Structure 1
Amino acid sequence: MSVLIVIPARYASTRYPGKPLVVLRDADGVSKTLIQRSWEAAMAVRGVDRVVVATDDARISDAAESFGAEVVMTAESCANGTERCADAIGRLDGPAPTIVVNLQGDAPLTPAWFVEDLVAGLRADDGADVATPVLRCDGRALAGFRQDRSAGRVGGTTAVFDKSGRALYFSKEVLPFTGHDYDPDMPTPVFHHVGVYAYRPAALARYTGLTQGPLEALEGLEQLRFLENGLTIKCVEVEGRGRVFWELNNPEDVERIERVLAGRVPDA
């Protein structure tokens, strides 16, 4: 079963224009763009046959090619990363993959085992069309979600799923509601949705023929299009293993991520 990782990246982000080219410094003071650090995260995943950056912007393409990435140019009309992955598949030469992984270009802290466990989870569930990782929040992570919401920032996404791991809903609100306070290292009932997806090619092809539904429009979450149209998403719980995971959603997240790259746990 061949695995392809696609890293969709666009320059004209509504919330953070030019985000893929934002520079992040690590513990050694080395500066690399967000797209390069995301590509390096993808290259560290075992069992992957090919990694490509999918973009419609020449600036991102030039930057990616400068550090050795394979690039596929996609249509400007792609509205989200899933659409860009689907578009990229149709433009690539070579044999079709069995599993397509969407490793979005704003998550350079994604550990390799998140993706490895994700692919294994999709392979193990024949009834799932898509799989995506979820990470149980500890008190520190939940406090970060709450802080973002109280400040009016759109932070990470939460996931709610049934006993078999099938997704019920995803939201930029903190779901499920809990009025409790938790110690920093205490597990909570809230799951952070990690913005990575593994698709079966048939599900990815079907996605492009579906129209945006009201929930996707309200939340701004592309995966809700699958749920609104009756497709199944498997939530694969992954282990943090002491690693801090945070996506780059807002300019304020640059400092958070640089603290992790420097080996210091960021403030909640």
Structure 2
Amino acid sequence: MLSINPIPAFSDNYIWHLTRGGEHWVVDPGDAAPVIETLAGESLDGILITHHHLDHTGGIAALRARYQCPVLGPGSIDGVTQPLQSGDRLEILGLPLEVMDVPGHTLDHLALLLREPTDQGEKLHLFCGDTLFAAGCGRLFEGTPAQMHASLSKLGSLPPETRVYCAHEYTLANLRFAAAAEPGNVAVTNRLAEVQALRADDKITLPSTIGAELATNPFMRCHIPAVARRAAGQAGMDSADEVEVFARLRQWKDNF
């Protein structure tokens, strides 16, 4: 049975720890120390990387030196032993893994979709780094609004029950922005209350689901007239197409 658990790192990062059949993999280990502590003497069988930022890659060298494990991710990253690109299909933990390119936050950003067969059908697990956050998305450090909007649209086309494992605990701040961007959205109001309760107990707010993001994430709701009007009002302009709405939302959020 597949187990997926967060390893907290730095102030708000999560390194995802995947185990099945005695194998151990981690996603985006920005720091080696908490991974080594979590493994508690077990071996590490592999590392998955979504993009090149140091808080996602900083532990690669130490983990490879200790465990001699493969590192799968964008070929632009030092330490990657098996470069991945969009459309690749491979197997880890005895399960199929699909690679999707999702530029915007960075140009080399990948998302990784793990398929887990179950008695009820199939569970989908999405490791999306800093492209899609719970109720938000990453800043545009390298890509364009059009690229990020297309990447989010691609992820939004996955089945609504797909579990979303992003890499930061940003949910509360993101939902506060979502409430400002779409104040009439009851789903946002309800989710904000739930997340406030979780964070008051210092509990993780992840994973999310694609369905929850489509209902509450303003960056995935640029087609909603109320969101477009709010974004236009912040920019002092009339409503525009979805990419322009996204760009205005992202600029607003950057200064929120």
Given the two structures, how large is their TM-score scaled by the length of structure 2? 0.28
Choose between structure 1 and 2 for higher RCO, CA contacts under 8 A separated by at least 6 residues. 1
Task: Kindly indicate which of the two structures has a greater share of residues assigned to helix.
Answer: 2
